[in-house]
Amino acid sequence: MLQALIKFLNLQPVINVFKVPELRQKILFTLGMLVVYRIGYWIPLPGVDQSALVQYFERAAATGSAAGRAASYVAIFSGGSFSQSTIFGLGIMPYISAAIVMQLVGSVSPTIKKLREEGPTGQQKIQTWTRMLTVLFCIVQGGMWMSFISSSGLVYSQWAGNPLWWVMGITCLTAGGVFLMWLGEQIDRFGIGNGASMIIMAGILAGMPQAIQWVITNFDPGNSNKMDWMDLILLMGGFVLVIAGSVLLTVAQRRIPIQQAKHSRGRRVYGGQRSYLPLRVNHGGVMPIIFASSLMIFPSVIFGGLADAAQSAPADSFLREMIVPARWLADNFNMGEFPYILLYVGMVYFFSYFWITVQFNPEEMSKQLRDHGSFIPGLRPGPRTAEYLETVMERITYVGAAFLAVIAVLPMVVNRSLGIDFSVTQFLGGTGLLIVVSVSLDFLQRVEANLMMRNYAGFLGGEDEGGRPIAG
């Protein structure tokens, strides 16, 4: 009976995971580090009125202000602790920012390019620079956050204006950000999966109970102002379809056939094998949405400030005459409005192409193929191959950016059209969903590789009629 239940629920891969001592230890270590991260989520910064801070961001989220959107965006990387001002309030964001900056600088800096070619020694030096940049980002972002809560009157009166509070707060935020960086590195070394990505995913999934609670609270078939059965079915069906589409977008590839040249050594002929060069449809991953989301905070802030300035300007001034267009811009560049969505989609496309320009080098790839004695059938090695690779990448990026744009704007459309809270619709698309899907797939692939090395059937494979594992 138990064996039948295990087979029906497909629990055998989970059992196989815990049969391997090394893999079991890695997974338990990773879970333990994530528990430590969630414990730090509840340790508040000293001197901050937490109840007033939560109420402030609840009002900002309800009115759709820029502060509310900024808090929602930052919560993706900090698990919501930014709006509660805890010691882990900055989350893993400073480390991610430092890594992105080093990656972008490395694409144009000969020094960093040379270090990358040196192997582990060069990578260690780049990692050291990334850590130092992380500390700098923690200090700068921590100072900005402390300045914001101080100017908003969210600090207890006995601490307001006290230099010791500033030093203590910035030190706590910096220490929290550096500790999370260290936590991610420990997961990389002793756990399984990418440490920084696992921490981000844990922060995103921490908001799921709140979303489920909102759905349960607002589900009442007898009340026309709340969700009925049809709304619930549509919401759940949309959730499943969007996740399926996100998985498809993450793993989709364009395979270009590669032929290896034949060469003779003595009486034997080597080479001649045919393989494929996989080009990802969504080569930029979640980065285009992250860049676009962060920059889309500024239009509403700028136009809203311009509208307020025009409203308070003297009646005979030029600025007062601009009140109508300024108010129109402020109203139409709120989250969910058509001009906002149109600009958002355009920025997703822009950063999708920008990211492949930074990350994808067709000339270098063509050179590597030529050096390894491989070529694309029908194309001469060298510039012609590089031109072909660049053309193919531009075309598949157009399709990938379209899928990415749909997933990015879907939470706003559902929030505006169906009146569902953004804490629920954020799981129907956007940055958070793509991060969870990407990290989950990477985690499963790593576990699968460990199981297959030890002749166990994994999550992505199965067993043949004789009970032997087969690859997925």
At 297-306, the pLDDT tens digits run 777 777 777 7
Q: What are phi and psi of 219, to 5 degrees?
A: -95, 110
pLDDT above 60: residue 203: yes
- Say if residue 314 is in the same domain as residue 173: no
Domain boundary among 206, 230, 254: 206
Separation CA 167–CA 374 (nearest Å): 59
8 and 18 Cβ atoms separated by less than 8 Å? no
**Which of 407, 446, 108, 114 has its CA nearest to residue 282?**
407
Separation CA 326–CA 308 (nearest Å): 9
Residue 237 lies in a domain: yes
Residue 466 lies in a domain: no
Separation CA 39–CA 258 (nearest Å): 50
Better pLDDT: 60 or 188: 188
- Say if residue 270 is in the same domain as residue 137: no
What is the domain count for the chain?
2
Q: What is the pLDDT of residue 5?
A: 46
Confidence of residue 160 (pLDDT cuts 50, 70, 90): confident
Q: What is the pLDDT of residue 469?
A: 45
Q: What is the pLDDT of residue 104?
A: 76
Per-residue burial over 15-39, b if 16 or more Cβ lie within 10 Å, else e, is ebbeebeebeebbebbeebbeebee
- Across the range 188-213, mean pLDDT stands at 82
At 363-417, the pLDDT tens digits run 888 888 888 778 888 888 888 888 888 899 989 999 888 988 888 888 888 777 7
Tokens encoding 308 = 């307020």
| Percentage of the chain exceeding pLDDT 70 | 81
- Say if residue 190 is in the same domain as residue 229: no
- Say if residue 125 is in the same domain as residue 260: no
pLDDT above 50: residue 321: yes
Q: What is the pLDDT of residue 64?
A: 53
Q: What is the 3-state secondary structure (H, E, C) of the chain?
A: CHHHHHHHCCCHHHHHHHHCHHHHHHHHHHHHHHHHHHHHCCCECCCECHHHHHHHHHHHHHHCCHHHHHHHHHHHHHCCCCCCCECCCCCCHHHHHHHHHHHHHHCCCHHHHHHHHCCHHHHHHHHHHHHHHHHHHHHHHHHHHHHHHHHCCCECCCCCCCHHHHHHHHHHHHHHHHHHHHHHHHHHHHCCCCHHHHHHHHHHHCCHHHHHHHHHHCECCCCCCCECHHHHHHHHHHHHHHHHHHHHHHHCEEEEEEEECCEEECCEEECCCEEEEEEECCCCCCHHHHHHHHHCHHHHHHHHHHHHHHHHCCCCCHHHHCHHHHHHHHHHCCCCCHHHHHHHHHHHHHHHHHHHHHHCCHHHHHHHHHHCCEECCCCCCCHHHHHHHHHHHHHHHHHHHHHHHHHHHHHHHHHHHHCCCHHHHHHHCHHHHHHHHHHHHHHHHHHHHHHHHCCCCCCCCEECCCCCEECC
Confidence of residue 136 (pLDDT cuts 50, 70, 90): very high
Per-residue burial over 312-335, b if 16 or more Cβ lie within 10 Å, else e, is eeeeeeeeeebbeebbebbebbbb
- Say if residue 173 is in the same domain as residue 232: no
**How many other β-carbons are positioned within 10 Å of the β-carbon of residue 13?**
19
Better pLDDT: 270 or 164: 164
- Across the range 348-362, mean pLDDT stands at 85
Distance, CA of 415 to chain centre: 21
348 and 292 Cβ atoms separated by less than 8 Å? yes
| CATH number for the domain that contains residue 407 | 1.10.3370.10
User: Please, which residues have CB within 8 angstroms of residue 227's CB and are 6 or more apart in sequence?
Assistant: 215, 218, 219, 220, 235, 420
Better pLDDT: 344 or 5: 344
Burial of 263 (0-12, 13-18, 19+ CB in 10 A): exposed
Residue 261 lies in a domain: yes
Distance, CA of 208 to chain centre: 16
Residue 470 lies in a domain: no
Residue 9 lies in a domain: no
- Say if residue 275 is in the same domain as residue 388: yes
Residue 344 lies in a domain: yes
Residue 276 lies in a domain: yes
- Say if residue 316 is in the same domain as residue 244: yes
Separation CA 327–CA 85 (nearest Å): 32
- Say if residue 313 is in the same domain as residue 374: yes
- Say if residue 439 is in the same domain as residue 329: yes
Domain boundary among 206, 237, 267: 206
- Say if residue 306 is in the same domain as residue 378: yes
Distance, CA of 461 to chain centre: 27
- Say if residue 196 is in the same domain as residue 331: no
- Say if residue 150 is in the same domain as residue 236: no
Q: What is the pLDDT of residue 472?
A: 39
Separation CA 340–CA 471 (nearest Å): 46
Domain boundary among 182, 206, 230: 206
Provide the residue range defining the domain that includes 434.
219-461
Q: What is the pLDDT of residue 135?
A: 92
Residue 358 lies in a domain: yes
